[in-house]
Structure formats: C-alpha cells, structure tokens
Amino acid sequence: MVFFANRQDAGKKLAVKLEGLNNDDVVVVAIPRGGVVVAEPVAEKLKAPLDVVVPRKIGMPGNPELAVGALSPDGSIVLNHRLLWWYGLDEEELKPIIEKELGEIKRRMELYRQGRKPFDVRGKHAIIIDDGIATGYTMYAAVEFLKKQGAEEITAAVPVAPSDTAEELSKRVHRAVILHIPEVFYSVGQFYGNFDQLTDEEVVNILEKWK
C-alpha cells in the first residue's frame, strides 16, 4: 500500500510530526540522496539549518546489495556481527570495501558541501532524516557520528521502517519518529508512489538554499 506520493510528500508529513521540536538549538541533518528531499520541508517548517552526513553501506563481499554494516565519515564502522558470523566473515575481509566506500564518502561530501564547512552540532539537537530505513545500519552509523561530533540530543525521523529496525533505532537515539511501521516490509520504495533515484545535482541544488 502506498503511504507517500513522493519524498516531498513524506517530508511534509514528517514536518507536521516534528513541528513541536522547533527551537534555536535544532539542526536538521539529512542522509543523501533521498533523505535530503525528505528533510527539506522539515528544515523549512522548523526554520532550522539543513546539513548532510554521508554514511555508506558496507556490502557483503561478492553480494554488495546485502549490508553487513555501515561506515561513517570519520571511518568508524557499525557492523552486523550476527550476519558476519553466519557467513564466516571477519573485519579484515571487509577492508577493500571499506576503503572504496571511504573514497565515495569523501567525494560526496566535497560535492554536496561545495566548499561549505559542516554545521557545528556541538550542544545542538540534531534531527537526522532519511527517506526510510530497512536494516538501519546507515542510520546507526550516522547517529554514532553525530554523537562523536558532540550533538547533545538526537532525534531520528523517517517516513517508514520495519518493526525490528524501529525498535533497535529507538534504543540508539533520544527519540525515534517513524510515520509508518508496517507489518509486512519488503523495501522502502514499496510505500512510495514515486521513488525515483535522485542525482547528485538535485541534492546540491537543495543544499544551495541553506548557504
């Protein structure tokens, strides 16, 4: 069943839920690419700065679509140790993938920021937003990164997530705001009427408004 026409629609609905969190200490932090579109109406509603954090999925060797964890911009990793154990993998085998993804994080951060410095989240309430989460590991990596950057409070806000991920996410942040937790979950895209892939240019154009 479709719950959101598109990412902009999801962002507007999320903004309504988050409206009560508006204060001078709030900064909205989006996970590109899709999360930036969802985050834009939230930042507008809260009259808050909009920034990005770029975690990257760590895919299974030989099966990159299967996430065994995620990587944050400072090189920290969050791993699904249960999955690694199940497939008989260790962290050493992931090093080539991690190095590749670190390069992609650097490329995207430079492109999206266009020379702008990261927003200082020390002592701030960071609202971190994506267009939805499945396993949750990229969100977990982003959350851990913001904690290390000194965010005083973290709210994770997404339009949709499966129940097990929603439960785990709520343990890792001060507040989890999830609009829809379905009984049956196959992918984030199944809950959107339009879930087209975004380009880097579209992300840059949105972020340009918050110079």
Q: Would you say residue 149 has pLDDT above 80?
A: yes
User: How do 63-71 and 77-79 pair as beta strands?
Assistant: antiparallel
Q: Which residues contact 183 (CB under 8 A, 6 or more apart)?
A: 163
Out of 60-74, 108-122, 164-178, the most confident range is: 164-178
**pLDDT band at residue 137 under the 50/70/90 scheme:** very high
CATH fold for domain 57-109? Ybab; Chain: A; (3.30.1310)
This prediction's pTM: 0.92
Average pLDDT, rounded, for the chain: 92
% of residues, the chain, pLDDT over 90: 72
Angle between helices 34-46 and 200-208 (to 10 degrees): 10
Cis peptide before 33 (omega within 30 of 0): yes
Write out pLDDT tens, residues 178-195.
999 998 999 999 999 999
In order of 2, 105, 117, the CA distances from 110 in angstroms are 35, 9, 10
Helix (H, G, I), strand (E, B), or coil: what is residue 200? helix
> Within the chain, which residue ranges are assigned CATH 3.40.50.2020?
7-53+120-208
- Residue 119: pLDDT band (50, 70, 90) is confident
Q: Which residues, 6 or more positions from 203, have their beta carbon under 8 angstroms from its beta carbon? A: 32, 33, 36, 52, 112
Residue range(s) of every CATH 3.30.1310 domain in the chain = 57-109
CB contact at 8 A, 144 and 136? no
- 102-107 own/partner pairs: CB under 8 Å, 24+ apart: 102/56, 102/71, 102/75, 104/56, 105/54, 105/55, 105/56, 105/71, 105/73
Q: What is the CATH number of domain 7-53+120-208?
A: 3.40.50.2020
**What CA–CA distances, in Å, run from 183 to 51, 112, 129?**
32, 36, 22
